[in-house]
């Protein structure tokens, strides 16, 4: 299984949340700072920034910018072993189609699979996998 765990995680005084990703075998990445008020009002590429919950799992996932792309890691879960686990990676925004493309970790498969995100009225819709092996999941913003 090639799943990455996030390193340090600390919340600052009601202003920003920092999450530092650590990928085995590489140097520590810079911490990404996300201000909740800005994430709520974001449009365009940053519309996915913030904390989200997929409707088919009991986890909260924080999506944030990192090195010109977006990544997402578990910040809250019924299974504590999942906390700090990278679940989304290499996400890039396509302004022409107003969608994001990247990879999501498919727990049942034990590997990352391609995915697409599209904003909806209630949050966003993620299509993971491809062809007949794809799955569509609604995500809602965590308040």
pLDDT tens, residue by residue, 45-89: 999 999 999 999 899 999 999 999 999 999 999 999 999 999 999
Q: Which of the 8 DSSP states describes residue 38?
A: H
In sequence order, the 6+-apart residues with CB closer than 8 A to the CB of 25 are none
* Average confidence score pLDDT of the chain: 76
Of 95-104, 117-126, 129-138, least confident by mean pLDDT is: 129-138
Ordered structural domains, the chain, with CATH = 6-141 (2.40.128)
Which tokens is 117 given?
């995100």
| Residue that is written with structure tokens 């686990």 in the block | 85
pLDDT tens, residue by residue, 85-117: 999 999 999 999 999 999 999 988 899 999 999
């Amino acid at each position: 299984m090639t799943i990455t765990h996030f390193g340090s995680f600390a919340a600052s005084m009601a202003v920003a949340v920092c999450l530092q990703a650590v990928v085995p075998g590489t140097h520590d990445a810079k911490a990404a700072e996300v201000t909740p008020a800005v994430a709520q009002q974001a449009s365009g590429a940053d519309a996915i920034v913030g904390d989200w919950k997929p409707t088919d799992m009991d986890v909260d996932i924080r999506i944030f910018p990192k090195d010109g792309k977006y990544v997402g890691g578990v910040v809250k879960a019924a299974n504590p072993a999942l906390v700090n686990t990278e679940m989304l990676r290499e996400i890039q925004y396509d302004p022409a189609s107003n969608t994001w493309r990247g990879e999501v970790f498919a727990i049942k498969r034990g590997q990352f699979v391609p995915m697409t995100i599209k904003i909806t009225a209630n949050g966003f819709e993620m299509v993971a996998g491809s062809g007949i092996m794809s799955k569509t999941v609604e995500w809602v913003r965590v308040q």
